[in-house]
A and B are shown apart, each in its own frame.
Chain A
Amino acid sequence: MDAERLDQLLDAYRAPQPSPVLRARVLAAAPRPPTWNSVAGRWMRAWAPGAGLAAAGLAGVLFGVVLSGSGLETSADTLLAEAGPYDEAVLNVDGGL
């Protein structure tokens, strides 16, 4: 049998065509164009960890400022409350010197 005849025989073995169901299944899984929601969602996912870290840092700074501010006030009030009339007189005398 020559090569041409063998090729003809091989050509008789046909493969099936893809069914419409298979085509539809494959197309249903194809990538979709990006929508506003998906872009916003991707942006949020990308920035959320950084934003969370920055927010935690800012909260820490604010807490520190508030705490240190209220601490000073407390110690000054305590000093004034603890100072009696004698202490005040001494302070005035020292101030006079």
Chain B
Amino acid sequence: MTAPTASVMLAAAALGSAGERGRLQAVEDPDCELVQRAGRGDPAAAQALVARKLPRVLALAYRTLGDPAEAEDVAQEAMLKVWRHAPGWRPGKARFDTWLHRVALNLCYDRLRRRREQPMADLPERVDPGFGPDRGLRAADVGRRVAAALQALPERQRDALVLCHYQELGNIEAAEVMGVSVEALESLLSRGRRSLRGALADMKNEVAEV
């Protein structure tokens, strides 16, 4: 999360009313102006927003679902929701990035729910797309093992790890996305990391070779 600049902090000290606080949040949200410009039909803003957000949404969906095709569908759906909301986007309680993560995570939950209702035979085959031939077998192996260990975690622990480690959200933001308290998020993170340490214990010497 980016730290507020000196001018923002000065503005925070000077402002009081709710409307003024709303304007301040607009200053604090680095995506707000871009979203509003994209909503007005600015193609450069739309391209910039896609370049900035699509990889993040895709990564979140991929690590939550473990399936590249489903992750692409979720990323596309989430970005379509962005386009629908962009023309009327107003700086509100949540930052745009937090809102987008929540939208994407909810779409992932929908998929996971549907997946649980499906028989196991219908599940898509998982493909590991992360490594090219130049990266070597060991890196691919480590990635696969970590992916399997992550997928084996309880859903909420995995989400907490994905949001905090991979998406680089702060604890407050990640807790907001998941709809839990910061303490609950920290507990999920701690349990998730402990489980991963156990699952990947035999790989502690592999790290240097990745």
Contact = CB atoms under 8 A, between A and B. Distances in A.
A33 to B, nearest CB: 3
Contact of B207 (A9, A15, A17, A18): A9
B80 A31 contact: no
A32 B50 contact: no
Given A1-B200, A7-B165, A16-B68, A29 B80 contact: yes
Interface size class of B (residues with CB under 8 A): 35 or more
A65 B51 CA distance: 66
B76 interface: yes
Nearest to A15: B59
Contacts of B72: 18-19, 22
A23 B63 contact: no
A29 B142 CA distance: 37
Contact of B210 (A12, A16, A23, A31): A12
Interface string A1-42: 101011111111111111100110111011111100000000
Prevailing SS type, chain B contact patch: helix
Nearest to A35: B41
Contacts of A29: 79-80, 83
Contacts of A3: 193
B201 A13 contact: no
A31 B204 CA distance: 48
Contact of A6 (B43, B131, B200): B200
A13 B210 CA distance: 10
B42 interface: yes
Contacts of B42: 33
A7 to B, nearest CB: 7
Contacts of B206: 9
Interface in B27-43: 38-43
B62 interface: yes
Interface in B41-75: 41-43, 46-47, 50, 54-55, 58-59, 62-63, 68, 71-72, 75
B86 A15 contact: no
Contacts of A14: 130-131, 143
Contact of A9 (B50, B80, B203): B203
Nearest to A38: B41
B87 interface: yes
B166 A10 contact: yes
A31 B41 contact: yes
A25 B146 CA distance: 31
25 contacts: A1-B200, A1-B204, A3-B193, A6-B193, A9-B142, A9-B200, A10-B150, A11-B210, A12-B139, A12-B142, A12-B143, A13-B63, A13-B143, A15-B55, A15-B62, A16-B62, A16-B130, A22-B54, A22-B72, A22-B75, A23-B54, A27-B46, A27-B47, A31-B83, A33-B40
